[in-house]
Amino acid sequence: MKKLLLLLALILCIAITGFTQETNVYTFVVNIVNESFRFPLIGFVNMANGEHSLPQFGFINWNTRNFSTLQASFVNTVGGNMSGVQLGFINTSVGDVNGLQTGFINTAINGGQGLQLGFVNTSVQGLQGVQIGFINYADSIENGIPVGFLSIVRHGGYKAIEYSFSEFHPINIGLKLGVERFYTTIIAAYNPFEEVVRESFAMGIGLGSIIPINASFFINPELISLHSFNNKQTLSFVPNFGYNINQNISLTMGPSITWAYDFSDDEPLKPFFSISRHNINENNDIVIGARASIRFRF
């Protein structure tokens, strides 16, 4: 462990010293080059001063200004605009991202105009491109779309709490996050009329989009998947029609088409009311119902 720490300290000293010199250092362990260097960087630590357009492969890649090809390593950092590809565990661009960041954690400090694909995606100044991940964060949004389990847009995003009524669960509480063009919903559902306790509760997720008609009315298609505590599942398409009471409160209602199924050779979840119900087989039903909700936007 001590030897590893000494090696890392030595690498850091060489790196700091190298950046103050005009000569290039290329050892395939530590590579420190200036803007005039015209060869790919392959090493454990690659440090490039200035703008570069040739690939960098290593454990740590650090480019101080604009970069326009491929950084592939555990940690990739660009100090300016990034118009190429960052492929690694942690990717950071201080400037705009006009290309692709793909990794576990992707960060665009001045803004994202390209694609972020990872578990956690962050655009600190604003989003103009696309984020696809489990958790997405953007301070603001101009012309972009976050797609993920949790997508938080601090300014200009869509954030709402909803109570809804459905043919399977009269009590549904949902948290909606994203943007109006595309948001996700985390849902907890309860049916007090169900005699089997494990079938009374369900959890799930939904996808939706708000399509304005005018300042007051909108169309709101949603796709919702719920999973009950005894493994019965429903997948519903709901073409809602909505009305904005004011800038914070809105109402929606519409028909629903639900596929209710159970893969464990048991009968599917039964609605407590329906407009129509078609039995496909002992494990699958198609149910036509109706839903309504009230939302508070915050």
How far, in Å, CA of 167 to CA of 194, rounded? 12
Q: Label residue 13 by pLDDT band (50, 70, 90).
A: low
Tell me which residue has tokens 């200004």. 65
How far, in Å, CA of 292 to CA of 43, rounded? 59
- pLDDT at position 156: 87
pTM here?
0.83
Which of 155, 190, 211 is at the close of a domain? 155
- Amino acid occupying residue 234: T
Residues 128 and 172 in one domain: no
Residues 81 and 194 in one domain: no
- pLDDT at position 8: 54
Residues 45 and 102 in one domain: yes
Confidence check: pLDDT of 17 > 80: no
Name which of 198, 210, 122 is nearest 162 in CA terms.
Answer: 210
Q: Label residue 127 by pLDDT band (50, 70, 90).
A: confident
Q: Label residue 16 by pLDDT band (50, 70, 90).
A: low
Q: What is the mean pLDDT of residues 118-145?
A: 92
Looking at residue 263, what DSSP letter applies?
T
Residues 220 and 264 in one domain: yes
Q: Label residue 217 by pLDDT band (50, 70, 90).
A: very high
Which of 155, 174, 209 is at the close of a domain? 155
Query: 297 in helix, strand or coil?
Result: strand
Residues 126 and 257 in one domain: no
**H or E element, residue 11:** helix 2-19
- pLDDT at position 143: 83
> For the domain that residue 209 is a member of, what is the CATH number?
2.40.160
Residues 108 and 253 in one domain: no
Give me the chain's average pLDDT, please. 91
Q: Label residue 6 by pLDDT band (50, 70, 90).
A: low
The percentage of the chain sitting over the pLDDT mark of 90, rounded to a whole number, equals 80
How far, in Å, CA of 197 to CA of 219, rounded? 35
Confidence check: pLDDT of 85 > 90: yes
Query: 28 in helix, strand or coil?
Result: coil
Confidence check: pLDDT of 69 > 70: yes
Q: What is the mean pLDDT of residues 2-18?
A: 54
Q: Encoding tokens for residue 46? A: 């690659």
Residues 53 and 147 in one domain: yes
Residues 164 and 263 in one domain: yes
Which of 155, 175, 205 is at the close of a domain? 155
Distances (CA, A) of 64 to 38, 67, 290: 16, 9, 57
Confidence check: pLDDT of 181 > 70: yes
- pLDDT at position 180: 95
Full domain range(s) for residue 76: 2-155
Q: What is the pLDDT of residues 156-173, one digit of tens each?
A: 899 999 999 999 999 999
- pLDDT at position 229: 87
Name which of 236, 228, 170 is nearest 196 in CA terms.
Answer: 228
The percentage of the chain sitting over the pLDDT mark of 70, rounded to a whole number, equals 93
Cβ within 8 Å of residue 83, ≥6 positions away: 66, 67, 68, 98, 99, 114
How far, in Å, CA of 140 to CA of 288, rounded? 39
Residues 226 and 124 in one domain: no
Helix, strand and coil percent figures for the chain, each rounded to 5: 5, 60, 35
Residues 70 and 18 in one domain: yes
Residues 55 and 69 in one domain: yes
Residues 233 and 131 in one domain: no
- pLDDT at position 178: 96
CA dihedral for 266, 267, 268, 269, sign (positive or negative): negative
Confidence check: pLDDT of 241 > 60: yes
**CB of 179 closer than 8 Å to CB of 145:** yes
Beta bridge partners of 123: 108, 138
* 34 Cα distance to chain centroid: 36
What are the two backbone dihedrals, phi and then psi, of residue 200, each rounded to the nearest 5 degrees? -75, -30
| Number of compact structural domains in the chain | 2
